[in-house]
Structure 1
Amino acid sequence: MSSLTNFVVAATAAHQLDATHLGAYSLAFLTYTVALTASRGLATDPLMVRLSGSDPATWRSAVRRSTGTATVVGVTAGLIVMLVALYVPAPISGAMLALGLVLPFLLLQDAWRYAFFVDGRPKAALVNDLVWAAALVPTITVVAEMSEPSAFGFVLAWGCSAGVAALAGCWQAWCLPRPGQTRAWLVAHRDLNVRFMMEGMAGSGSGQLRASGVSYTLGLSAVGYLQVVNTLMGPFQVLLHGSGAVFIPELGVLARENLDRVRSACLVRGMALAAAALSWGLLLWILLPHGLGQLVVGDLWVEARPLVPLATVSLMGTSLMAGAGAGLHALGGARRSLRVMLACSTLVVVLSVGGAVVAGLPGTMIGTAIAAWTGVVLAWRALRNQVAEDRALRAQALPEAVS
């Protein structure tokens, strides 16, 4: 539901904005993903690894500190983004200004979602995202009906509706975020949070650098066409991100019960997601000329259609990599997952921007696909090593416990 909400905003923006203004919206959204991954690494990833299956009192105490940390990250990142908005040209400046205003709402709402999953309450997470969707309908309608819709308006409507859901999360959990306990939370989980934050920011930051490099090389409108492709792939992103929110906490429980089943569970998830990515890509390729493209993204689908096969290949690699990445997170393998993500992020930036220089937008997509499939090899090798290390540690601990 969360990914679907983002998809609706992006699709509506694609209908209402030209490629240049859509590119500005895309850069703002990519900036949001950088802040989001920083928040997850510092606030909610440790919660999923350490608190899955905990008792209600322990969960509530941890969630107060976790959501407080997410709020502090949102306020800090929002101020930085608004400062950046002063030094970038329009229409990027307007989109960035709106994002800076609403980042605290967006990050707090995301933190509530993961808190509910950790507590084994997926229905509560769904209800919270439904509140966001319900609040989005009137706000996005007002923006779409304006005589001159702008990236500023779309970002502001999207973030303010998330604020309604963030407030609803406080009521659902019957507790309030405690920003004053951020330092205590960070210190308690310092062996995980910094590495998880760096890993997440490396992944999302590479997307931001990729878009900036493409904008510099091919123009802001090229970023808009990349956003169109991402929007068309939106329904698959719903499956990719939604399954991860459920899978990692459950995998953490499985790892404690039966370590030998972790790799097979990760492989099943990765293969299933890769098959879904291939199916969706083929479906798009067939249906775009028959009205689906016009329905979803308007006239911009014509320029985006040739990029769909390359995007599909890239997402299949991302899916297989996500399977192994979930295992690394569930096992607390922050050091290994960080190394994998840093290597892959570097490849994404270098190969995609280099591809743009050599062959335009198709070259960008080819470079991204090569980086994704290289990441598959690195991630699965890291998971194999992590499982072997954990097995050795458990075997060593068992005789000590008996003695």
Structure 2
Amino acid sequence: MTVPEEKPSSEKPSDPPRTPRRSAAALAAVLDQAASSLTNIAVLVIAARVSTVHGFATFSMVYLTFTVLLGLNVAYVGQAVVLTRGDTGAACRSAIAFTSLASTVVGVLLAAVGAVTGGWAGPGGAFLALGLVLPLVLVQDGLRYAFSTLRRPGLALAADTLRLMCVVPALLLQPRHAAPGLLVAVWGVSAVPALLLGLRLLWPHVRGSRADLRPYVRRGHLGQRFVVEFAVGNASSQLAVLGLGLFAAPLAVGALRGATTLFGPLNVLFNSVNAFGPPLLNRLGGRRATTRAAALLGLVLSAVGLAWGLVLYALPDHVGRQLLGSTWQLAATLLPASGAQYAVMGLGTCALVTLRVLRPRATLSVQVVFSLLSVVLMLAGYLLTGSALGAAWGLAAGSALKAVAAWTRVARLRVEETTPTAPSPAVPAN
């Protein structure tokens, strides 16, 4: 028996370690997302524990404002910079410079509004504090996308872990019934160590590059499309909740945010599906295999949402008060509605991920129509019942309708694939 002659490998010696490095980078990205989400959960839980019911409602409105501003910055700057090709160092430096400038301008406006609309203990003081710390927290979060562009998720993980380690003890040291403005200020200032570490880690990668802000103010900047998608997909419901608190029922905002905070671990799970679902589904090949895998994952996520909701609903009152303080009593009444919402959100998330893989342009119309419908249903639920519970069931109904619409769109794509195309008529030869 002859032994086949071995051919020399065309791979470079450095090729084999690529898979472990990619796996480590993916793990670092997942852990960074988890650290960021855990920070948001911890902030709201601790704020609820040290605040009065009214104080947490005010803090929730301010934190919701920050969440909207953060989402706009991520859409306009973060999602655009990660698509950069070429000089990533200059792109990252430009992104951080634009975030610093824009957040300072918005922060000054917020601080001015807060200064003329009330005392330190009320909403005015909390918005004043948010305006003062806004550049710190937005730039610190923006560094995550710079490190992602540079393919250095481990550096983002280091900075965000430090952020978590600083904010938790800083808030825990605050006195009982602390003013919302004080909590916002402490939360913002606690970002300074992570901000300084992130800038120090970024410096070697952007040294010698020049910032150019002109692309961010030009018509046609890619972030403008992402802002539209964010506005109709996420910001619309958040702004509706904020409006509900400002003009109707501030306590409803605290109750809704308290209940949502308890489902924070599921948000981490859904975000991971959004981030890593498309590339994994792309490897499955045809539409049928992709759809089946996504549907199975959606059922699993739905079951997890229901199970988590049942666990929270079964919590004894003394445990709930340990988590959310005096806000627990209001938030506990919303748990059935929030549990139902997260169950259908699991199905809807997988449907939208499937559409993103099979036909990316099909997601925008679903997001626009049914996100706005969710806002209408939330406000209608509140007006009909006069309580946060009605608003919560309205949000659950909107999420259910979005899931149904998304899966209906997926089913139509499968029908289009399986429908045979009529053969072209034969052309007679001359």
Q: What is the TM-score of this pair, normalised by structure 1?
A: 0.79
Residues 128, 210 of structure 1: alpha-carbon distance in 2 compared, 3 angstrom cutoff? same
> Counterpart of 1:140?
171
> Counterpart of 1:304?
331
Contact kept in structure 1, 2:81 and 2:91, CA below 8 Å: yes
Residues 317, 78 of structure 1: alpha-carbon distance in 2 compared, 3 angstrom cutoff? farther
The amino acid across from 2:368 in the alignment is L
1:99 aligns with 2:127: no
Contact kept in structure 2, 1:65 and 1:185, CA below 8 Å: no
Q: Give CA-to-partner distance per residue, 1:105-136, whole Å, 9 cap, x none.
A: 22222222234345544433322211101221
Residues 267, 329 of structure 1: alpha-carbon distance in 2 compared, 3 angstrom cutoff? same
Q: Give CA-to-partner distance per residue, 1:327-365, whole Å, 9 cap, x none.
A: 6678994x6544333323322322112211211222111
1:196 aligns with 2:202: no
Q: 1:352 aligns with which of 365, 370, 378?
A: 378
1:286 aligns with 2:314: yes
Deviation at 1:266, TM superposition (A): 5.2
Q: What is the DSSP-based 3-state SS (H/G/I as helix, E as strand, rest coil) of the residue aligned with 2:66?
A: helix
1: CA distance between counterparts of 2:100 and 2:356? 23
> Counterpart of 2:104?
75
> Counterpart of 1:397?
none
Q: 1:212 aligns with which of 235, 239, 243?
A: 243
> Counterpart of 2:55?
21
Residues 329, 213 of structure 1: alpha-carbon distance in 2 compared, 3 angstrom cutoff? same
> Counterpart of 2:72?
38
> Counterpart of 1:109?
140
Residues 42, 215 of structure 1: alpha-carbon distance in 2 compared, 3 angstrom cutoff? closer
Residues 60, 279 of structure 1: alpha-carbon distance in 2 compared, 3 angstrom cutoff? farther
Contact kept in structure 2, 1:195 and 1:338, CA below 8 Å: no
Contact kept in structure 2, 1:67 and 1:111, CA below 8 Å: yes
1:375 aligns with 2:402: yes
The amino acid across from 2:404 in the alignment is V
> Counterpart of 1:317?
344
The amino acid across from 1:154 in the alignment is L
Contact kept in structure 2, 1:47 and 1:115, CA below 8 Å: yes
> Counterpart of 2:91?
62
Contact kept in structure 2, 1:267 and 1:324, CA below 8 Å: yes
* RCO higher in structure (CA 8 A, sep ≥6): 1
Contact kept in structure 2, 1:46 and 1:189, CA below 8 Å: no
Residues 188, 352 of structure 1: alpha-carbon distance in 2 compared, 3 angstrom cutoff? closer
> Counterpart of 1:235?
265
Q: 1:154 aligns with which of 178, 183, 186?
A: 183
The amino acid across from 1:372 in the alignment is S
Q: What is the DSSP-based 3-state SS (H/G/I as helix, E as strand, rest coil) of the residue aligned with 1:225?
A: helix
Deviation at 1:184, TM superposition (A): 2.0
Q: How does 1:270-285 map to 2 (within 5 A)?
A: 270-285=298-313
Indicate the RMSD between aligned Cα atoms, in angstroms.
3.4
The amino acid across from 2:379 in the alignment is V
Contact kept in structure 1, 2:117 and 2:124, CA below 8 Å: yes
1: CA distance between counterparts of 2:300 and 2:143? 27
Contact kept in structure 2, 1:42 and 1:186, CA below 8 Å: no
Q: 1:181 aligns with which of 191, 200, 212?
A: 212
Residues 175, 205 of structure 1: alpha-carbon distance in 2 compared, 3 angstrom cutoff? farther
1:343 aligns with 2:373: no
Contact kept in structure 2, 1:64 and 1:175, CA below 8 Å: no
1: CA distance between counterparts of 2:81 and 2:358? 13
Q: Give CA-to-partner distance per residue, 1:175-208, whole Å, 9 cap, x none.
A: 4598952332565972x42121122133224222
Q: What is the DSSP-based 3-state SS (H/G/I as helix, E as strand, rest coil) of the residue aligned with 2:178?
A: coil
Structure number with larger C-alpha Rg? 2
Deviation at 1:82, TM superposition (A): 2.4
Q: Give CA-to-partner distance per residue, 1:274-314, whole Å, 9 cap, x none.
A: 3332221111111243x430221123322322210100111
Comparing 364-373 with 161-170, greater Cα deviation is found at 161-170
Q: 2:156 aligns with which of 120, 125, 129?
A: 125
Residues 132, 309 of structure 1: alpha-carbon distance in 2 compared, 3 angstrom cutoff? same
2: CA distance between counterparts of 1:120 and 1:385? 37
2: CA distance between counterparts of 1:183 and 1:258? 41
Contact kept in structure 2, 1:284 and 1:308, CA below 8 Å: yes
Deviation at 1:64, TM superposition (A): 2.4
Q: What is the TM-score of this pair, normalised by structure 2?
A: 0.75
> Counterpart of 1:393?
none
Q: How does 1:46-57 map to 2 (within 5 A)?
A: 46-48=80-82, 50-51=83-84
Residues 383, 225 of structure 1: alpha-carbon distance in 2 compared, 3 angstrom cutoff? same
Contact kept in structure 2, 1:288 and 1:301, CA below 8 Å: no
2: CA distance between counterparts of 1:194 and 1:381? 29
> Counterpart of 1:164?
193
Q: Structure 2, unaligned stretches of length 5 or more?
A: 1-34, 417-430
Residues 161, 227 of structure 1: alpha-carbon distance in 2 compared, 3 angstrom cutoff? same
Deviation at 1:45, TM superposition (A): 1.5
